Amino acid sequence: MLKLVNVSKTYTGHQQEVKAVDDLSLTIEPKEAVAIQGPSGCGKTTSLLMCGGLLHPTSGQVLVGDTDLYALSANARSEFRANHIGFVFQQYHLIPYLNVLQNILTANVASRRPDAEARAEELVAQFRLEPRAGHVPGELSVGEKQRAALARALFNEPKLVLADEPTGNLDAKNAKVVLDALRTYANNGAAVLIVTHDPVAAAESHRVVHLDQGRLVIAAPEDDTQPAASVNSEAEPHA
């Protein structure tokens, strides 16, 4: 579903080159949720952005299914991304003047699904957002914002979901909702890639990939015996 082939990203500035990602090759199959972990600045988010068609690699290929993302024109890549890749970000990126239902429906701009309203309402119910469907983001808790953002990401039933620190701002209850949804979505046939510092998010993935200085250092299979770790328990204004 997702294949990186010898992907590198180099930034040049102040007469110095910085290689953010260095010859990374990685394959994520359908029905697989993979977590990328590593120290700050190791290339995790850069890798995620390249996987999503948002950042052109300096070299290498990024394939989603049979599509070479960076062989597409910018417009074709944007259209492909809107229809086949879902994004979940730590800061949600909800449109502040739209309510929850309207924010979810923004994903329909590209796809024009005939069942858009029904699909959005289905996701509202799935993520237990019915009481908040008419509320704008400023009236939501952090957990509700992330659940709304995840619903929007899944609206078009993308074959690939990319999540950047999706539990970083959440308490244990809401983190579990998000992680369960991502793993279930992978189990149903998609590929899911999660960038995370959260040991619980990593433990809930099928496989963990570690990066250091832009290079793959280890890829471990899922370990069901790994003890659970606690998640950020910062309180939020609403359940």
Query: For residues 87 and 162, what is the distance between their CA atoms, to the nearest angstrom?
Result: 5
**Secondary structure (DSSP) of 138-189:** GGS-HHHHHHHHHHHHHTT--SEEEEESTTTT--HHHHHHHHHHHHHHHHTT
pTM above 0.95, yes or no: no
Question: Which domains, from first to last, does the chain contain?
Answer: 2-221 (3.40.50.300)
**Tens digits of residue pLDDT in 108-164:** 987 788 899 999 999 999 999 999 999 999 999 999 999 999 999 999 999 999 999
Residue 193 CB burial class (10 angstroms; 0-12, 13-18, ≥19): buried
Length of the chain: 239
Cβ-based neighbour number of residue 163 at 10 Å = 27
Tell me which residue of 69, 66, 65 sits closest to 54, measured CA to CA: 69
For residues 110-133, b (16+ Cβ closer than 10 Å) or e, as one string? ebebeebeebbbebbeebebeebb
**Tens digits of residue pLDDT in 20-63:** 888 999 999 999 999 998 888 888 889 999 999 999 999 999 99
Sign for the pseudo-dihedral over CA of 101, 180, 88, 186: negative
State residue 150's pLDDT score: 94
State residue 228's pLDDT score: 37
Tell me which residue of 7, 101, 18 sits closest to 55, measured CA to CA: 7
Strand pairing class (32-37; 16-28): unpaired
Query: For residues 201 and 106, what is the distance between their CA atoms, to the nearest angstrom?
Result: 27
State residue 99's pLDDT score: 97
User: What are the two backbone dihedrals, phi and then psi, of residue 111, each rounded to the nearest 5 degrees?
Assistant: -90, -30
Cβ-based neighbour number of residue 197 at 10 Å = 15
Identify whether the C-beta of residue 171 lies closer than 8 Å to the C-beta of residue 233: yes
Identify whether the C-beta of residue 167 lies closer than 8 Å to the C-beta of residue 200: yes
